[in-house]
Structure formats: structure tokens, C-alpha cells
Chains A and B, each alone.
Chain A
Amino acid sequence: MNKALANIIFTGFMFLLFTFAWIEALNFTRLAQFFPLYISLAGSTLSLVYLLKTLVDYKKETTAEERAEHILILKPLRYIGWVIGYLILIYVFGFIISTAVFLFVFLIYESRMKVMQSLLSMAITLVVVTYLSAAINIEWPASLLGL
């Protein structure tokens, strides 16, 4: 996607966020209202001004060279998917099983590690994490299955 266009969309999102925030703030009582209301009104106004400025700048950029800078979309989505997938696994199966599965599969498919190396890395990580958990009382996320 064109970076300038993505910036316009993101600024538009900021404008909507601040606008929603000040509309929501109108429902608070006076003492709870003043801070978020003024902050979000300022944000809403400023983001609108910046949005208009970027739109004008975007229209001025007529040459292909000026619009050449692009940002990746699919590739980041793939890795964001890994993160979200790992969290969903934890939510269902618990931390230890999910970490074992996630590490093994990721190291094989993304890191191109050999099976034995992946298994060894996974095992060492689990031992270290379990030891740390016991030694300094670290808790793991709760899961649906209670594992």
C-alpha cells in the first residue's frame, strides 16, 4: 500500500478515535469529564487539521516517484497471525502445551531449524521457564482447559 495513503487512513482513524472519546466523555459527570473531554477535543481538532494537511499534500504529489514509497501488508499480517495464534493456543490449551507447540512449529517452518535442534531448543526453553516460574513465583496465563 502507498505509505502516504496509509498515513491518511491512520490519521482518519485517530480523528475517529478522538471524536468518539469526546462524545463518550459528554456522558461523564463534571469532575470526571474535564480531563478526557479537553484532551480528546484537542486531539480531534488537531487530527482533523493534520488530516486535511496530509490530504492536500497527497494531491500535490503527482509524480510516480513521489508515490513510490510503499508499506508491506501481507507479510506483517502473517507474523501478527503467529502472535495471535499463539495466544489463542494458550487460551485453550494452557501455557506449557501451547509454548511447546508454538516453538516447535515456528522453529521448523519460519526459522528453518532442523527437527532435533527445534526439539532441543523447545525443551531447554520449557525447563528454563518452569524453573523461573518456581524460583521467582511467576504465574502463567489461565486456560479454558485449566492446564
Chain B
Amino acid sequence: MIESAIEALTIVLDPSRLIYMFLGIGIGIIVGLLPGLSGTVGMALLLPFVFGMDPYVGIALLIGMVAVIQTGDTFPSVLLGIPGTSGSQATIMDGYPLAQQGKAAKAMGAAFFSSLVGGVIGGIALFLTIPFAEPLITAFSSPELFMLTMLGLSMTGLLAGKSVFKGILAGLVGLLLGAIGSAPAVPEYRYTFDSLYLTQGLSLPVVAMAIFAFPIIITMLTDKKKVTEAAKLEGGALQGVMTSLKNKFLMARSAVVGVIIGFIPGLGGSVVDWIAYGFGKKTVKNNTFGEGDIRGVIAPESANNAKEGGSMIPTLLFGIPGSGTTAILLGGLTLMGLEAGPSMITTNLDVTLSIVWTLVFANIFGAILCLMLIRPISKLSTISGELIVPFLLVLLVIGAYQSSLSWGDLVVFVLIGLFGYVMTILDWPRPPLLIGFVLAMSAERYYWISIERYGWEWITNPLVIVLAVVILVLLTGGAIMKRFSQKVESGGES
């Protein structure tokens, strides 16, 4: 396989293909920068162009774009507190407070370097997993997937803030919002009030933007302030890179979490950053997560880029897409005359390996490009709210509308935005609401399938028990894990 990997490397580094990879990287960063646009939009945009293309060229374009979306989306998350895509929601928790302290450049330096490392680890994981992928994927059936959604939901407890009541209630509102639309177990619509728009359920990008962006634009106007409260921008990107290096174990741990979550089809990439954030919060000593701790940026950013490598495993080897983006990628492969499945590790192994290399290179080049853009773009945080908000609102309206090209998206944006604003001024935590919303459908679907298929026997599955123990340890054993982490990371924190 090493020989094939070297051969694939020479194919990827061919200048005529590198140009397409850079084109993909450029588009990926723009898509990530604009709130509301996701990998699915980027893929849909590029898909018509790959028809009949040389597979290596088409892959350079598509994978180049996908690999860096999670890197580019850091800009709005840190500078404006608005998630660029659904994979950068957790970055806001500490990235935005850091920007408010005038440390936007440092936060983004750390984020981009962590993204680079996470993305490379994701590519390596894809390479290493190729021979063992099949038994690993089949080990996860509906009971294990249900337990994984429970693991995600347990993060609401960790992110509840000062009031557990408020955190749990916010999580329940999210679950209830996620129940709107068609029921997974039976052909029936719930809470749609005869609205055609609601039959599809609420869209995640719209809910995420409403919950995080709407309150921020109103607060920026009422408080008449800039994003950064500091007089001048402190710390440069290099300082952020050095901080990431000091937290190398956190970066590596989070990347592994990202690969695992990405690797499991059906869980959805939107929750990976929250899980990595929760793990980070539980395992890092003396942390001030939520108040501007740079490690709260490193953990989700490393995980969300690593996820891409993990998600390629089921997509390429079994034709099981874990997200809308990978589903469109499957279509792209077909347009280029390829078919996902076992052939990707036999006759088309060189194509699979070129994907690995493209993931690695795109992450490196994308992060370098973003690092170069930090200085000019971070000046956005010093502009007065009254000057930046009207332009931001135009972008948000366009972004929200792209979700389903329906006016319903804009109405939902305002209604949930108002709800989010009230939550903000009354100190109710918003992340639990989003986690509940993201996991509602998966939780219900996998619970129902598990019960229908296995009765209650699934509770005794070894992997289910392991996951239950992990959840319990996360919720109750924080002190033990912190002590363990202190030993591992001695001297490695900022």
C-alpha cells in the first residue's frame, strides 16, 4: 500500500491537478466564511463541473473544497459570534469572548493550526483505517448509535452553565423543536399546523444562526459597542499557533474524537464540535471554558476538521453517506465514472489514496491561507456595531434563505432569534438548545429502531454498556479525569 500511496502522491502533486485543488480551497474558504452556507451548498455548486472530469482532477476540486470549509468558518465564529457552518458552533463559546478581549488574532491562529493538525490526523486515520474499516463500521448498529446520541445529549449538562434547570430546559426545547415535521417511525406530521414549510422540519443552519447571530446583532446595536472591548488587538496568530503546540495532547485527543464521530454514519457532523468541546472541558485542568479559554477553541477546531477524514471511510468504502455533503460527493464520484464500495480499496485504491493526500494538503494549504488572512480580517472586530450590523444582516438574510429557499426560513430566523435574544439577556444557556435540536431526530429514530428490532435486549450489548459507562464517567467522574489529564498534560497548558 505504501507504493500505491507514493504513486497517488505524484498524481496529486501534478501541477495541472494542484490548480484545481487550490480552486476548491478558495471556494471552500468563501463558503465557510459566509454564515448559512454549508458544505452541501459548496458541493452542489461544484457538482455540475465534475461531470466527465478526470477523477483525480474532480477529486482535487471537491475534496479541496470540503476539507477547508471547517477552517474558513472560524472567521465569523470568532469575530462575530456567528457560526460560519453548523460544525463551528462550539468555537463561538470561547472564540467570541477572546475576540471581545482583543485576542481575535491569537484565537484564530490557534484555531487554524488546530484545524490543520486535525485535518491531517483525519487524513492519516482514513489511510490507516482502509484495511480494517468493514468490521469497525458494522460494529455500530442502532443501539450503539442511540447511545452515541445520548453521549451528545449529555453535553447539555456540561454546557448548562450556572443553572442546571435552565440548561436542561433549553435542551428540552431543542429536542421539541427537532420533533417538528415528519415522525421517523410512522408517516405522520407533528406540530406543523397545516404549514407545508414545517413538514420538512426546521433547518439546522437557520436555527443555529437564529440562536447565535440574531441576539448578537441586537446586542451590538443596543450596547453601541464593537466586538472587541479592548483598545487594540493583542497577540498575533503566531502566539495562537504556539499555544496550540503547547496543547498538543488536547489537539490530538480532539482530533481522535472527530475521526470517530465522523466515521460513524448517521450521527451527523453538527455535534462533533460539541462533543469535542465537552471532552475538552472535562479533561483540561484549571480551565475557564466559556469565558475565553483558548483551549475551548482548540478542541472543537481540531475535531471538526478531523471529522472529514473519518466521514470519508463509510462514504467511500460502503457508499454510506453520513451527511448531505458526503451524499453529494457520492453523486460526484458517479459523475466521474467511479462507484463507492469495495472497489475503492481494490481496483480504485489509487483514487482513494489521492483523496487521503488531497485531504492532507488541502488542510495544510487552507490553514496557511487563513493564517495569512487573519491580520486584515480580524480588524473587523474593531469596527463599531452600528457600522457592521446592517451588512451582517444582509448576509444573514441571504444565508438563512439558502436553507430551503422558502420564506419560512426567514420567519423561523426571526421567531427563534427573538427567543434566543430573550435567553441571552436572561442568562439562559443557548448551546444546550442547539445540541438538543441537532440530536432530536437521531435520538428518536435510533431508539425506535432499537426497540422494534431488539426489544430491550440491546441494553446488554457490550458496546452499549461501554458507551453508557463513558456517559456516566463524563457526567460524574470529571474530577478523576481532570486529575488524569493533569498528569498527561503537565506543563503543556497556556
Contacts and interface: CB of A to CB of B under 8 A. Distances in A.
B484 interface: no
Interface string B22-50: 00000100110010010001001100000
B407 A76 contact: no
Nearest to A71: B425
B183 A32 contact: yes
Nearest to B166: A50
Nearest to A91: B407
A80 B179 CA distance: 28
Interface in B339-398: 384, 386-387, 390-391, 393-394, 397-398
A102 B394 CA distance: 9
Given A14-B173, A18-B172, A138-B398, A110 B386 contact: yes
B197 interface: no
B169 interface: yes
Contacts of B448: 31
B401 A7 contact: no
A67 interface: no
Interface stretch (B12-20, B74-82, B184-192, B320-328): B184-192
Contact of A76 (B44, B169, B176, B421): B421
A83 to B, nearest CB: 6
**Contact-residue bracket for chain B:** 35 or more
B426 interface: yes
Nearest to B174: A39
B209 to A, nearest CB: 13
B422 to A, nearest CB: 6
B414 A29 contact: no
Contacts of B417: 83
A25 B428 CA distance: 26
B218 interface: yes
A3 to B, nearest CB: 7
- Chain A interface main SS type: helix
Contacts, number: 145
A65 interface: no
A56 interface: no
Interface string A21-55: 10011001101100110011011001101100100
Contacts of A139: 401-402, 405
Contact of B190 (A36, A71, A76, A121): A36
A129 interface: yes
B176 to A, nearest CB: 5
Interface in A88-147: 90-91, 95, 99, 102-103, 106-107, 110-113, 121, 125, 129, 132, 136-142
Contacts of A110: 221, 386, 390
Nearest to A8: B426
A141 B397 contact: yes
B124 interface: no
Contact of A39 (B172, B386, B397): B172
B414 to A, nearest CB: 7
Given A21-B176, A29-B188, A36-B190, A79 B221 contact: yes
B387 A39 contact: no
B454 interface: no
Contacts of B166: 50
A84 B397 CA distance: 11
- A-B interface, 10 closest residue pairs, ranked by CB to CB distance from nearest: A32-B183, A43-B172, A31-B185, A31-B186, A35-B444, A32-B188, A36-B179, A111-B386, A50-B165, A79-B221
25 contacts: A3-B425, A6-B426, A18-B172, A21-B176, A28-B183, A31-B185, A31-B188, A35-B443, A43-B169, A43-B172, A46-B168, A49-B165, A50-B166, A53-B165, A71-B425, A79-B218, A83-B218, A83-B393, A87-B414, A95-B397, A137-B44, A138-B398, A139-B405, A141-B397, A141-B401
Given A32-B183, A53-B165, A106-B390, 16 more contacts: A6-B422, A10-B422, A31-B183, A31-B448, A46-B168, A47-B169, A71-B425, A72-B425, A79-B217, A80-B421, A86-B397, A110-B221, A110-B386, A111-B387, A136-B37, A139-B405
